[in-house]
Structure 1
Amino acid sequence: MSVMARGGHATVYRATQDSVGREVAIKMENRRLESDRDQVRFLREARAAGKMSSHPHVVDLFDVGVTVDQHPYLIMELCDGSYLERMRRSPLAATEASDLGIKIADALVHSHANGVLHRDVKPANILYSHFNSAVLADFGLAVLGEMRDSSVNLEVLTPAYAPPESFRHDSPTGAVDVYALCATLYAVMHGRPPRWGSGHSPSLITLMNLFSEPIPDIPGVPRELTQVLRYGMDNDPAARPTAEQLRDLLTKVDVEGTTRPYVPPPRYGGSDDTPTVRHQLKQSKKRWFLGLLGIEHR
């Protein structure tokens, strides 16, 4: 067994499963689960998440457990790399990013239908191999994040892909995964997360202020695709599409160069920026996006 990667929360090992002679990845949490309650909760959540492995774009999870010295671990398929590494080498073109989004959104449709949230979608958790261009990893590990010390460093928590409600400690919903996937797709095309500077991670106060800033266009990326991603990154979780709607919107966007005229969605702001006007325009924006799917908004 050899170390593949070592991070603030976990260490990933490359190993061979002797019984079948295949190489696997073992992700072991650095901290211990010292109480029986935490161990039982981790095993319950991880095994429930293991059901997601039947989806072609979810990493195969072979086993979960807790070591004798109380470190939780996952044994999963061995992949070649992550999209964090890919975007650092060279940002993805719109066609590849759109295809990536469709596949991972479909995995989220499957998980949400089974009552399982991922809660940590980001480029580092989307892997690829020679046999599969995109698989979502780390289902079941969100429960460990809830058990960690809340004072851990922001950079370790990768807040760049988390929606504003995550910092308010609201109960998570599927809208968290939708936001994170859209932020991920933006990042793999842009080279860094939306609104994120090229320097160090911002402070928590600066980070919260970033949510009020607009999300810029990406040179060379169709505006319609960027608008879909903005829709999925709405600060209001109720205004975001579902994972299913996001998948279908990405399928509808012609990233190779649409011939239809671009019609921007409604915008709000200015002197009429009242709660009533904002609500009306938000509904108009939702009708605009659902219209792309041929769905009548009621």
Structure 2
Amino acid sequence: MARGGYATVYRATQDSVGREVAIKMENRRLESNRDQARFLREARAAGRMSSHPHVVDLFDVGVTVDQHPYLIMELCDGSYLDRMRISPLAATEARDVGIKIADALVHSHANGVLHRDVKPANVLYSHFNPAVLADFGLAVLGEMRDSSVTLEVLTPAYAPPEMFRHDDPSGAVDVYALCATLYAVMHGRPPRWETDRSPSLITLMDLFHQPIPDLPGVPHALIEVLRYGMANDPRSRPTAEQLRDLLTKLDLDPNQSRSVPPPRYSAGDDTPTVRNAHKPARKKWLFGLLGIQDR
């Protein structure tokens, strides 16, 4: 079905029950017994996430006789990467997808599992489910690769700045990536990117200091929530639960009145003075406007 730099996806039939499935196989090998055991242990733990209605069902994991790790998963109809390339989503549909995927992240983070590669290609849909998150089981494979930062491993368009500094990942990584994904499916390309081509690593780091523009036809309140989730400082982002609640409370009626003006801040300025000045104001405005408590 597809081949990438690190994995190949096959369409197959599970003979025992006669259903079609997707098999994602890592291109490289896990040659040591220790790495294979770790993959099986952690991938199976991540597989528990598939009990959530908005996580792709993971049926089995294993290692082939020639040492390639694989996952057998639910076969879906397509991804939101395909959707956004054909026709970007309206704000309401993007908001609804965000609620579902954020709820999946709430479930996974509560169980100590990070996704670490949320992006439009990993948000899938089927006839029965408008949004499911794929590839939880592949997070451990990313850890087993060369630890040096490469554009291919990080999916740079959706990776937050701390991942390029080799910081330990946290739930804030998934929140950033989901907000960047929601912006992309409405815009047709990732935030701040001028073209579909990947920039150099130096150019990419400079992009984090640029503001995230408004989008035509997208309510300002939704863009503000996404900017909040894409703060350069991971401590300034909402949790997955807060993001889900913010999206749920959003009224996307373009004629809605706003009784409280948005705070003034420089979205691209990450200096301590400006960050500390605008973070509480923006957070207070968002939570107050939507009538929810900061937990």
TM-score norm. by structure 2 comes to 0.94
Instruction: Map 1:20-35 onto structure 2 (within 5 A).
Output: 20-35=17-32
* Whole-angstrom distance in 1 between the partners of 2:176 and 2:197: 22
For residue 43 of structure 2, what is the aligned residue in structure 1? 46
Partner-residue secondary structure (3-state), 2:135: coil
For residue 10 of structure 1, what is the aligned residue in structure 2? 7
CA-CA distance at 1:258 after TM superposition: 4.7
Change in Cα spacing, 1:97 to 1:22, as seen in structure 2 (3 Å) is: same
For residue 103 of structure 1, what is the aligned residue in structure 2? 100
- In the alignment, is the contact (CA less than 8 A) between 2:9 and 2:23 conserved in 1? yes
In the alignment, residue 157 of structure 2 is paired with which amino acid? Answer: A
* Whole-angstrom distance in 2 between the partners of 1:65 and 1:110: 24
Change in Cα spacing, 1:146 to 1:262, as seen in structure 2 (3 Å) is: farther
Instruction: Map 1:258-273 onto structure 2 (within 5 A).
Output: 258-261=255-258, 263-268=260-265
In the alignment, residue 183 of structure 1 is paired with which amino acid? Answer: A
Change in Cα spacing, 1:297 to 1:122, as seen in structure 2 (3 Å) is: closer
Q: Which 4+ stretches in 1 moved above 6 angstroms?
A: none
- In the alignment, is the contact (CA less than 8 A) between 1:186 and 1:193 conserved in 2? yes
* Whole-angstrom distance in 2 between the partners of 1:191 and 1:199: 9
Change in Cα spacing, 1:172 to 1:62, as seen in structure 2 (3 Å) is: same
TM-score norm. by structure 1 comes to 0.93
Change in Cα spacing, 1:49 to 1:217, as seen in structure 2 (3 Å) is: same
Aligned residues: 293
For residue 233 of structure 1, what is the aligned residue in structure 2? 230
CA RMSD of aligned residues (A): 2.0
CA-CA distance at 1:199 after TM superposition: 4.6
Could you report, residue by residue, the CA deviation over 1:208-259 in whole angstroms, capped at 9, with x for unpaired residues?
0000000000101001000000000000101100001101111111123352
In the alignment, residue 148 of structure 1 is paired with which amino acid? Answer: R
Counterpart of 1:294 (choices 273, 288, 291) is 291
- In the alignment, is the contact (CA less than 8 A) between 2:39 and 2:140 conserved in 1? yes
Residues 1:160 and 2:162 aligned together: no
* Whole-angstrom distance in 1 between the partners of 2:271 and 2:79: 43
Instruction: Map 1:142-291 onto structure 2 (within 5 A).
Output: 142-150=139-147, 154-155=151-152, 157-261=154-258, 263-268=260-265, 275-276=272-273, 278-291=275-288
Partner-residue secondary structure (3-state), 1:251: helix
Structure 1: any 5+ residue segments left out of the alignment? none
Change in Cα spacing, 1:201 to 1:150, as seen in structure 2 (3 Å) is: farther
* Whole-angstrom distance in 2 between the partners of 1:190 and 1:55: 28
